[in-house]
Amino acid sequence: MHLNSEDLRHKIKTANLRPTQQRLALADLLFAQGNRHVTAERLHNEAMSSGVTVSLATIYNNLHQFTAAGLLREVVVDSSRSYFDTNVDPHHHFFHEKTGELEDIPRNELSVDNIPTLPEGTEISSVDVIVRVTARRD
């Protein structure tokens, strides 16, 4: 759960991407520590405040390239913006509606059963469970 710059370089090369300055910086923010959930804007802010100059266009390019390479997964929980999750294994999420925070629910800690017959001629692509939570009022 701790990747050094060599690990990151390797991860990027394996995805057939060039280890550019910006890409490495983003990979560092995303993958160096444990799992993360970020929006493009948040990642942009983090990059800026960590002293790396990256344009928003490049943030989007890289988020999509990482996603295409299977290094990230997009999570659809909010109609106004996209979230990207560094945990690409099947799992679910808690979504805090007020703060916009996402939190993983490991796949084995929640079970979805008895999925009915699929629509004619289709197969499952993924099963996404979102447990939306709000501050408890009591």
Residues that bind its own copies (CB under 8 A): 74, 76-79, 81-82, 94, 96-97, 103, 105, 109-116, 118-119, 121-137
> Which of DNA, its own copies, none is residue 71 near (CB under 5 to 8 Å by kind)?
none
Task: Out of 33, 50, 68, 81, point to the residue binding DNA (CB under 7 A).
Answer: 81
Comparing CB distances to DNA, the nearer of 43 and 91 is 43
Under DSSP, the state recorded for 23 is: H
Chain positions 14 to 33 lying near DNA, rule: CB under 7 A, are 16-23
CB contact at 8 A, 72 and 63: yes
Q: Which residues contact residue 92 at a Cβ distance below 8 angstroms, ignoring those fewer than 6 apart?
A: 104, 105, 107, 110, 128, 129, 130, 131
Residue 49 engages DNA in binding (rule: CB under 7 A): no
> Which of DNA, its own copies, none is residue 137 near (CB under 5 to 8 Å by kind)?
its own copies
Least distance from its own copies to the Cβ atom of residue 137, Å: 8
DSSP codes, 35-91: --EEEHHHHHHHHHHTT----HHHHHHHHHHHHHTTS-EEEEEETTEEEEES--SSE
Residue 61 engages DNA in binding (rule: CB under 7 A): yes
